[in-house]
Amino acid sequence: MDFKDYYKILGVEPTADEKAIKAAYRKLARKYHPDVSKERDAEEKFKEANEAYEVLGDAQKRAEFDEIRKYGGQHGRPFQAPPGWESRGGGGFEGGDFSDFFSSIFGARGGNPFGGARQQQRSAGRRGQDVELELAVFLEETLNKESKQISFQVPQTNAMGQRTGFTTKTLNVKIPAGVTDGERIRLKGQGAPGSAGGANGDLFLTIRMAPHPLFDVEGHDLIITVPLAPWEAALGAKVAVPTLDGKINLTIRPDSQSGQRLRVPGKGLANKSGERGNLYAQLKVVMPPASDESARELWTKLSEKAAFNPRTQWSK
């Protein structure tokens, strides 16, 4: 088993904050998503990025990984967990397509890679195992009426219920309207086949919403930060703002304030009824990177003309 340095996989420093980790994952998830990437190893790199974010995006898992990392593990080199190591999570991680390294650190519930798989005896037949799978979904895909193709491994067993191997199964799955991060979807009969006339197991999909480079999610609403030049905020402007289904022209009123939110109805995510939430455009005034002498003269004249002190409340 080789050590996986999740910081190297995401391309961030061990001191990176949550925002930097999230941004790095977004970049890799979009680059290597199997639906869009043409690179030969895209699927493997996409899984690696998901696994790295599963760890570094969770404070408890990240703390455990940092503790293990102190033992001198080097990325891609053979590694064995310290004697007596047990995940502080109290029972391991259930579900997902993760590496042996991940399972050795965070547990795998008896070594079963399909997590919640279970068997039931029905008369003379034996019910097939259930299969657990995490499915990464982009925000745009929640509005897409087309099906999403997924592939996963299904355990094969003999009449005695002993595992004999795995087969790869491919399905076209419709992403339900209103799906949310962490939601669990059951596809009846799409798990492992039963034996001796027993029923097939089920496939359980746990939805993981891939972070978006532009939008944050609040329920079924979306938040986008809209950068404005100081004169746009002062004088007003028309700004082209991206949404999940095309750009819109947003009117910025004169004397707008940084941090102000403008509501755009019907441009958020869909709920279970198919109705869409709102898009909130949060204004952020951004200064130019540098000013030449003539620009500084204009800023000086403005400061004298406006006679504005943004800290007057401090003197009260």
Distance CA 181, CA 224 (A): 19
Confidence label for 233 from pLDDT (cuts 50, 70 and 90): very high
The region of weakest confidence among 78-92, 182-196, 212-226, 265-279 is 78-92
Q: Is 24 helix (H, G, I), strand (E, B) or coil?
A: helix
Per-residue pLDDT band at 13 (split at 50, 70, 90): very high
Q: What average pLDDT score do residues 220-228 get?
A: 96
Q: What is the pLDDT of residue 118?
A: 36
Q: Which 3 state secondary structure label does DSSP give 40?
A: coil
* CB contact at 8 A, 298 and 291: no
Q: What percent of the chain has pLDDT over 90?
A: 34
User: What are 252-261's pLDDT values in tens digits?
Assistant: 999 999 999 9
Higher pLDDT, 148 or 316: 148
> Could you read off the pLDDT of 41-55 as tens digits, one per residue?
888 888 889 889 989
146 pLDDT band (50/70/90 cuts)?
A: confident
Average pLDDT across the chain, whole number: 82
Which pLDDT score, from 0 to 100, does residue 94 have?
Answer: 40
Residue 292: other Cβ atoms inside 10 A: 8
Say if strands 121-122 and 215-218 run parallel, antiparallel, or are unpaired: unpaired
Q: At what angle do helices 42-56 and 18-32 cross, to 10 degrees?
A: 160
Of the chain, the end-to-end C-alpha distance in Å amounts to: 64
pLDDT for the residue numbered 115: 34
62-87 burial code (b ≥16 CB/10 A, e <16): bebbeebeeeebeeeeebeeeeeeeb
